[in-house]
Structure 1
């Protein structure tokens, strides 16, 4: 078993910074979305670094890979919600483009890390 310190992972660090940005973005949304889209967006965003951290504390590389998969799925969910926010005119297309570019970088990093730990050689 390999121990993973999530605090040392660049992808975790970037995703925590990303969550902060997303939370600030949602302050622009209408108040009536507080328990709707805002809540969903925040949950998806915080799930990304949270699952990286939780997976790092599991007992095997296989488990870590599983939590990285969950983190990646949350990032796709968030991307969808940001597109919806744009279509509802809560966020401009420019803002969504900027934030999704950052999200795509995080997705690539999670995918690469997942491939590393999913390999039977590293289990």
Structure 2
């Protein structure tokens, strides 16, 4: 969806939306863990890696 944006500015905005969605998913997983559901640590590692990739792409596109 984001790749179909017509301008770089719009694409960057979409990447920020993706960051927000990632944060929402992370919050749900934290709550699930607090409720004693089993949530693998690798999921949180993946979330952090994805966050870094998104932020890196945003920084690159802003240059």
**Residue 82 of structure 1, aligned match among 10, 26, 29:** 29
Tell me what 1:109 maps to. 53
1:68 aligns to 2:12 (yes or no) = no
After the TM superposition, which residues 52-63 of structure 1 pair with which residues of structure 2 at under 5 Å, given as runs? 54-63=1-10
Aligned equivalent of 1:98: 42
The runs of 5 or more residues in structure 2 that have no matched partner are none
Alignment size in residue pairs: 63
Report the structure number with the largest CA radius of gyration.
1
| Cα separation, 2, equivalents of 1:81 and 1:91 | 13
Q: Secondary structure at the match of 2:53?
A: helix
Q: After superposition, give the CA deviation of every residue in 1:1-59 in whole Å (9 maximum; x if it has no partner).
A: xxxxxxxxxxxxxxxxxxxxxxxxxxxxxxxxxxxxxxxxxxxxxxxxxxxxx111010
**Which protein has greater RCO, CA pairs closer than 8 Å, 6+ apart?**
2
TM-score, scaled relative to structure 1: 0.48
TM-score by length of 2: 0.89
Please tell me the root mean square deviation across aligned C-alpha atoms, in Å: 1.2
Deviations 1:58-83 (A, max 9, x none): 10111000000000111111111100
